[in-house]
Amino acid sequence: MSFSAFVSRVASRPGRRALAIAAAAALLGLTAGAPAASAAQGLSCAELIERFNAAIDAAREFDAHKAAEESLATPECSAFRMPMLRRLSAFRLNEAQTLMARGRPVEEYENALSLSEAAQVLWQASATLAEVRFGERRFAEAAQAYDRAIEIVKSETLTPTSPSPAEIQSLMDRAAQARLLAANDETPERGKQKFVQTAANAGGALGGVFSPVVRGIVPRAVPMPITFEYRSATLTQFGEQAARELLRAIREQNPPKVRVIGHTDARGSADYNLKLSKARAETVANFLRANGLAVPVEAEGVGFNEPMKIGAASGLSQDDIYALNRRVEWRRE
């Protein structure tokens, strides 16, 4: 099941608990043995951990937060800080998702969800926040939160147990969709379209949706928010920014060759769309070559023959579907 489908199920079935809470139930490393181990380091740490666990078990979020904060000033507690942050984040996520499952308005769970995600230690918190923002049509914020979720998944320290391949692919797909929609969004209250920069990984290279591998999963197609002038193969201002980011990703990952595929939406004749998609792919290929890319670049247009597979289209308009299909992809061999 995709993560977006999971969130939809949580929101529609009262009493469902979130994925993240299975990890919290195991105390995330703060088991009964932890205080004994910390006792050798100092009683104050053992007491802090005991207070923290008791506060979580009694659903006293403020007291748990205070104990976690105090542990930061206690050197003996350094080994337990990450488990404490993860358990506190899971507690807040559970609180938010419980309210989501009851159909409560965003205002009632936004604070708990935002606090859970702010720690950036649980991918489920970032992904849940991304789904909420996606549903609110805050696509730029959704794309950024999906990227953070992907980076957390990639860290074996933060995510000892990898999500399923389907969950990872769902995160990658939704991150790309959010970027495409942000680049095409014309919702009046949201303002102009926006190019969303991809998150950098710990080493400073492009990560997130551009990641060459995520826990063994290699994303073969990377949809790019490269936009063009209407019925034209001329890049928009944001389209050029996206093409430049693609250039950076290719240089960082250094593939032996590059293949870009142009797609259109369903409007217009098949012949016209095939030619337009080819011309747009050629524009991107020429941009890469003109900016010094040395590896061979192949350009191909497929018109509307390969529409995007959209797992969760609820809340999307027909114009949104058009925007998702109107794209250029980098295909990894």
Dihedral sign for Cα atoms in the order 229, 142, 5, 224: positive
**Between 199 and 193, the higher pLDDT residue:** 199
Q: How confident is the model at residue 192 (pLDDT cuts 50, 70, 90)?
A: low
| pLDDT of 174 strictly over 80 | yes
As a whole-number percent, the residues of the chain with pLDDT over 70 amount to: 85
Q: How confident is the model at residue 146 (pLDDT cuts 50, 70, 90)?
A: very high
- What is the reported pLDDT for 126? 98
Q: Return the amino acid letter for 81.
A: R
Task: For residue 226, give the 3-state DSSP assignment.
Answer: coil
Query: pLDDT for 278-327, tens place per residue?
Result: 999 999 999 999 999 999 999 999 999 999 998 878 889 999 999 999 99
Q: Are 100 and 109 in contact (CB under 8 A)?
A: yes
DSSP assignment of 133-169 equals HHHTT-HHHHHHHHHHHHHHHH-TTT-SSPPPHHHHH
CA 186 vs CA 41, 191, 224, 323: distances in Å:
58, 7, 18, 11
Q: How confident is the model at residue 8 (pLDDT cuts 50, 70, 90)?
A: very low
Give me 182's structure tokens.
């942000």
- What is the reported pLDDT for 190? 52
Q: Are 67 and 85 in contact (CB under 8 A)?
A: no
